[in-house]
Structure 1
Amino acid sequence: MAIDENHLTAVPAVQASAPTPPPVLGKRRRRPSRRHAVVFTVLLAVSVLMALPFVQLLISSLRPAAEMTSDTWLPSVLDWRNYADAVKTIPFWAFGRNSLILAAVNAFLTTISSALVGYGFARLRAPGKNLLFGLLISTMMVPQIVTLIPTYLLFANLGLVGTYWPWVLWGSAGAPYAIFLYRQFFSSFPKELEEAAVIDGAGRIRIFVQIFLPLSRPLLVTAFVLAFNAVWGDFIAPNLLLDQSNTTLAVGVGQGYVNDKGFPLPNLLAGGAVLYLVPVILLFLAAQRSYVRGFANSGLK
């Protein structure tokens, strides 16, 4: 059979189309919305306003004595001698040692005793427990000035005025805010964890020391920092209960920088205040991660 080549038509070859690869989805950068920009601006403005007093204090600590009443924002020269004179005018290091001892001992006792009480409120059953916890929290509403005179009379009758024993007793009694944080945090622990320890023969104290305390390290740091800062910055109690020989740095900085005529020395006061803030700032910078995590974990249920 003959094939007419003139009538043959070229048939285009059908090429198998390769599957189109899916587009690679890159990480899209989320553009900040207008709401986020407004929130960021507000937070930045609040942060600047809160930092202004500290900036002003730092500038005043470097200002010469003759320019303390000047209206200029920056001093003409930086007088670094204010820090050296602030240390020499009062027994700065002795007062600082007293404050460090009081703050560290009280913070340690407050941290441990508050953890123990918070564990009891969270994990133990007793009649009237919620009522007692409510009374404990209500003491946070009582101003310190209300209990000032009764506290002084109590320690005076016990012969503890002029000693450091009041801070030991305060630390051993715990702090309501720390007890509240521990109670909230320990309440979030599963019951199976405690039941397994009981089956293994562990008692309440062993469960508290070996299980609950190691798991609450961020909260331990938080309670310690709060208690340390409270004692370090307290002016009323040391001024009322301690003598001039064993008083704290807060009292020394607040009352010691005066001249022979009794007039204050603002440049030395500013320099001493800056040095007074350094230990607290260093402590917070060292513990800020655990500090924030402790507050965050205390609200979990």
Structure 2
Amino acid sequence: MATVPLTGARPPVVVAPPGPATPPEPPRSTGRRIGRVILWVLLIAFGLLFLYPFAWLLSASLKGRGQVFDNALWPETFHWQNYVEVWNQLPLLSWIFTSVSIAVLAAVSVALSSSVVAFGFAYFRFPGRGLLFGLVLATMMLPGAVTMIPIYLIWKNLGALGTWIPLFGANLFGSAFYIFLQRQFFLGLPRELFEAARIDGASYWSMFWRIAMPLSVPSFVIVLLFEFQASWNNLQAALIYLNAGSVEGFTAPLGIAYAMTKYSPTAGGQGDYQYVMVASLLVTLPMLVLFAFGQKYFIEGVATTGRKG
């Protein structure tokens, strides 16, 4: 006899057993918190240490003649007229224009020439490529003092003394360090891009200018920043090749060195070094602005360069 279920009866409800509870996050240990505090204190301390020379320079530029070289970071009296009088005391605008012009020429020329050579070493396969690249890198081992006199004689025989040409002319042939830097970046680019371009009929120059260069903007900006900064602070070359010219034709570093001598009491000056401090501060600001705007490309280029070799 079959069993007939009662009308309206509900099936039994099966309740799943509760799963394991999510364990609470362990509280952060006291030692880890102390370590982070110590790290932040060290970072702030080193940051203030590196900012101290700039703060001292700013303070010295606002002081009078007798208080320039004290260690007080807060002047007793603010001499704002120093920033107005410096343009009458020194041809600072002419110095800045000369430095900017030479730095731009040097940075652009070495960035382009080094990129072309680096692309050749990265893309082409030919016998002796490794040996030739090693010889290029070996030039970095030569001290600058060894090549100083031969380079001077070359520019003298070319009649370029007293002009801007010796300060950026050598950059037209590239730089070993920048060639190495750009080559490492080019090696990280997919080779299939260039092979596809060759199949489509692109020339080697088109591959370099239309594919390699747009993809290597971060490393290219790094080379520009490095060389602009090196040319901007290059006192030695300006002292050798421009020292015999007029004062208005000096670069900013050479002009500041001239101002230090001009205001020295031993050279008949009155010790007005506050104008030198103002000029030094104004000459420093363009580099700060340049690195602030190029920081994004600088970090990206450092992070991506050298990932393949």
Structure 1 residues 38 and 147: alpha-carbon distance in aligned structure 2, compared to 1, 3 A threshold? farther
**Bigger shift: residues 53-62 or 254-263:** 254-263
Cα 1:138–1:50 shift into 2, 3 Å: farther
For 1:253, the aligned partner's letter is I
Whether the 8 Å contact between 2:62 and 2:80 is mirrored in structure 1 is yes
Give SS of 1:44's match. helix
* Cα deviation, residue 264, structure 1: 4.8
Residue 122 of structure 1 corresponds to 122
**Root-mean-square deviation over aligned CA pairs:** 2.9
Q: Which runs of 5+ in 2 are unaligned?
A: 1-11
Distance, in Å, in 2 between the alignment partners of 1:174 and 1:89 is 39
Counterpart of 2:136 in structure 1 is: 136
1:290 aligns with 2:293: no
Partners of 1:125 and 1:264 lie apart in 2 by: 62
* Distance in 2 (alpha carbons) for counterparts of 1:19 and 1:81: 83
State the one-letter code of the partner of 1:92. Answer: L
The answer on whether the counterparts of 1:87 and 1:272 sit within 8 Å (CA) in structure 2 is no
- SS class of match (2:48): helix
Match of 2:258 among 255, 259, 276: 255
Aligned partner letter, 2:295 = Q
Give SS of 2:126's match.
Answer: coil
Pairing of 1:93-132 with structure 2 (within 5 A): 93-132=93-132
Code of the aligned partner of 2:257? G
Residue 265 of structure 1 aligns with which residue? 272
Once the 2 structures are TM-superposed, how far is the Cα of residue 116 of structure 1 from its aligned partner? 0.6
State whether residues 121 and 129 of structure 1, in contact with CA within 8 Å, keep that contact through their aligned partners in structure 2: yes
Distance 1:114 1:22 in 2: 63
Q: Residue 266 and residue 184 in structure 1: after superposition, are their counterparts in 2 closer, same or farther (change >3 A)?
A: same
Distance 2:161 2:153 in 1: 9
* Bigger shift: residues 289-298 or 135-144: 135-144
Alpha-carbon contact 1:194-1:207 (below 8 Å) kept? yes
User: Which has the higher mean CA deviation after the structures are superposed, 273-282 or 259-268?
Assistant: 259-268
CA shift digits 1:140-191 (9 cap, x unpaired): 3333233222221110111011112223422211122211110100111222
Contact 2:65 2:271 in 1 (8 A): no
Counting aligned pairs with the same residue, the percent is: 32
Greater mean deviation of Cα atoms: 245-254 or 257-266: 257-266
> Secondary structure of the residue that 1:160 maps to in structure 2?
coil
What is the CA-CA distance between 1:112 and the residue it aligns to?
0.7
Alpha-carbon spacing, 1:30–1:183, altered in 2? closer, same or farther (3 Å) = farther
Task: Tell me the residue number matched to 2:3.
Answer: none
Q: CA deviation at 1:218?
A: 0.9
Q: Report the TM-score when normalising by structure 1.
A: 0.85
Summarize deviations over 1:195-228 as a string: whole Å, max 9, x none. Answer: 1111111121110000000001111111111111
CA separation of 1:128/1:27 partners in 2, compared to 1, >3 Å: closer, same or farther? farther
State the TM-score, normalizing by the size of structure 2: 0.83
CA contact (8 A) 1:110 1:174 kept: yes
SS state at 2:145 partner: coil
2:203 corresponds to which residue?
203
Q: Give the AA of the match of 2:256.
A: V
Tell me which residue corresponds to 1:169.
169
Give the total of aligned pairs.
289
Match of 2:287 among 280, 284, 297: 280
Does the CA contact (< 8 Å) of 2:56 and 2:71 recur in 1?
no
What amino acid is aligned across from residue 199 of structure 1 in structure 2? I
Q: Retained in 2: the 8 A contact 1:155–1:161?
A: yes
Shift of 1:232: 0.8
Helix, strand or coil at the partner of 1:146? helix
Matched letter for residue 285 of structure 2: V
Distance 1:18 1:179, change over 3 A: same
Residue type of the partner of 2:182?
Answer: Y
Q: Does 1:149 align with 2:149?
A: yes
Secondary structure at the residue paired with 2:268? coil
